């Protein structure tokens, strides 16, 4: 008899937003396999299939122990026929034939390589793949006309595909804070995205910016961007304006709850020193007093926008050594941009939110993507509410529900509060 047969007896709720999903879990062999299939479905623009694999993987991530046999999965939600088949194969043979075939397929490899270029989505990558373009070098030689984002993406391909580390994210945070405070003192900057969930690396760094005096944040992004540009911190930026308007009839387009804040997709130029250690020098400690909100995912107090009690000064100079520094310097040494240099390119996403929407923006931009999707699905199907990164609308009472913290939003939704570190669905 195999141990842990009682696993299936514990009841597991079916929405990921009802569960605690830590970053580290017991079933990575299974979730890695399912993630490959999810990614392949997404790259083939089969969203439904992708979500099904992501939901199955998220369920496994939330289990309190390792699954050793398929019989332990009986009665668990979110496991479709296809996912179950893959799980059984991995449990029995150690690998799934379908996953292996997918991973090594020319199409999957090419789609991954091409969508790995900043500014290239699945549609464009697919078109190029059909023309025989399978990687960045093929693209470079193809003579295709690229837009500005894609040209930058190609130029910094290797380093933009190197993970961004937590210390690098903190260093970027210091720069963002200097920029924001230079143009709007009193503004608050919060690290969001995967780093807020406790991830040690990310594909980018995400920040949410607000100001306690509603209205002061209006038009902030162009000013921040100008400051950053003047200081030479930006390699690329694309700013989009705020287009969110609350209406009495409820959200104008409930299906589209994305992209309506002032937002800036950018690529930062982050200094490293000659030995490949990363260093960010500022104007000096006398002119810069950091107040970056503490977003330690293991403390729950960081979720309140008004709370500054756990803020602490950040080090003025960051020195990062070891494995990552070596990787960075290797990539920089081999980069197509005129030899070794003392900075690296990092993707940074900036979002500005009015104070009254801050809690919704914080919840909406902390992720994970599946957790967000599940929150919105829960809201619609279980509560007849529409949740976005701007607001929560109660369709029965025909009114917006205000909230100044994530805890309040979970309460409005009738959900147990799940802290950021447990939203890694």
Chain residues in the site for ligand DGT (CB under 6 A): 193-194, 199, 202-204, 206, 258-259, 349, 364-365, 367-369, 372, 389
Nearer to Mg ion, 194 or 297 (CB): 194
Q: Which of 50, 119, 202, 354 binds Mg ion (CB under 5 A)?
A: 202
367 binds, among ligand DGT, Mg ion, none (CB under 5 to 8 A by kind): ligand DGT
Q: Minimal distance in Å, beta carbon 389 to ligand DGT?
A: 4
Region for residue 45 given its phi and psi (left: phi exceeds 0; alpha: psi -120 to 50; beta: otherwise): left
Q: Give the integer Cα–Cα distance in Å for 90 and 134.
A: 29
Q: Which residues ranging from 158 to 197 are in contact with Mg ion (CB under 5 A)?
A: 193-194
Nearer to ligand DGT, 96 or 357 (CB): 357
Q: Minimal distance in Å, beta carbon 69 to ligand DGT?
A: 32
Q: Minimal distance in Å, beta carbon 372 to ligand DGT?
A: 5
Q: Minimal distance in Å, beta carbon 246 to ligand DGT?
A: 16
Q: Give the integer Cα–Cα distance in Å for 247 and 313.
A: 41
Q: Which residues ranging from 204 to 223 are in contact with Mg ion (CB under 5 A)?
A: 204, 206
For residue 263, give both structure tokens.
Answer: 């937002």
Residue nearest to Mg ion (CB): 193
39 binds, among Mg ion, ligand DGT, none (CB under 5 to 8 A by kind): none
Q: Minimal distance in Å, beta carbon 413 to Mg ion?
A: 24
Q: Does 297 bind Mg ion (CB under 5 A)?
A: no
Q: Minimal distance in Å, beta carbon 220 to Mg ion?
A: 21
- Catalytic residue IDs: 204, 206, 349
Nearer to ligand DGT, 133 or 175 (CB): 175
Q: Give the integer Cα–Cα distance in Å for 110 and 120.
A: 12
Nearer to ligand DGT, 288 or 417 (CB): 417
Sign of the dihedral through C-alpha 49, 55, 58, 62: negative
Contact 152, 136 (CB under 8 A): no
Nearer to ligand DGT, 243 or 289 (CB): 243
Residue nearest to ligand DGT (CB): 367
Nearer to ligand DGT, 76 or 202 (CB): 202
Binding site for Mg ion (CB under 5 A): 193-194, 202, 204, 206
């Amino acid at each position: 008899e195999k141990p842990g047969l009682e696993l299936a007896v514990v009841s597991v709720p079916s929405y990921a937003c009802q569960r605690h999903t830590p970053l580290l879990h017991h079933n990575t062999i299974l979730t890695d396999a399912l993630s490959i299939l999810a990614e392949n479905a997404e790259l083939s623009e089969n969203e439904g299939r992708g979500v099904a694999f992501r939901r199955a993987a998220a369920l496994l991530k939330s289990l309190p122990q390792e699954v050793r046999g398929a019989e332990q999965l009986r009665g668990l939600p979110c496991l479709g026929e296809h996912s179950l088949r893959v799980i059984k194969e991995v449990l029995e043979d150690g690998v799934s034939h379908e996953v292996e075939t997918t991973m090594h397929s020319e199409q999957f490899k090419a789609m991954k390589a091409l969508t790995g270029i900043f500014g290239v989505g699945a549609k464009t990558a697919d078109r190029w793949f059909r023309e025989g373009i399978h990687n960045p070098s093929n693209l470079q030689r193809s003579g295709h006309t690229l837009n500005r984002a894609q040209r930058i993406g190609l130029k910094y391909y290797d380093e933009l595909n190197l993970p961004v580390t937590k210390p690098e994210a903190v260093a970027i945070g210091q720069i963002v804070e200097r920029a924001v405070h230079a143009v709007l003192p009193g503004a608050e900057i919060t690290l969001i995205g995967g780093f807020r969930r406790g991830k040690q690396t990310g594909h980018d760094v995400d920040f949410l910016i607000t100001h306690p005096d509603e209205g002061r944040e209006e038009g902030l992004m162009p000013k921040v961007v100008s400051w950053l540009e003047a200081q030479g911190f930006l390699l690329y930026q694309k700013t989009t304006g705020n287009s969110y308007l609350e209406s009495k009839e409820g959200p104008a387009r409930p299906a589209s709850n994305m992209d309506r804040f002032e937002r800036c997709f950018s690529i930062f130029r982050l200094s490293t020193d000659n030995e490949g250690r990363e260093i960010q020098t500022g104007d000096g400690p006398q002119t810069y007093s950091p107040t970056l909100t503490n977003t330690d995912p293991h403390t729950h107090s960081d979720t309140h926008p008004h709370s500054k009690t756990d803020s602490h000064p950040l080090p003025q100079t960051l020195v990062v050594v070891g494995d990552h520094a070596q990787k960075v310097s290797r990539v920089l040494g081999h980069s197509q941009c005129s030899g070794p240099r003392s900075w690296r390119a990092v993707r940074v996403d900036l979002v500005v939110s009015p104070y009254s929407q801050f809690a919704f923006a914080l919840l909406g931009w902390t992720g994970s993507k599946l957790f967000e999707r599940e929150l919105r699905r829960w809201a619609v199907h279980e509560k007849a509410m529409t949740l976005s990164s701007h607001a929560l609308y109660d369709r029965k009472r025909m009114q917006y529900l205000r909230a100044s913290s994530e805890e309040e939003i979970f309460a409005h939704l009738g959900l147990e509060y799940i802290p950021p570190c447990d939203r890694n669905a």
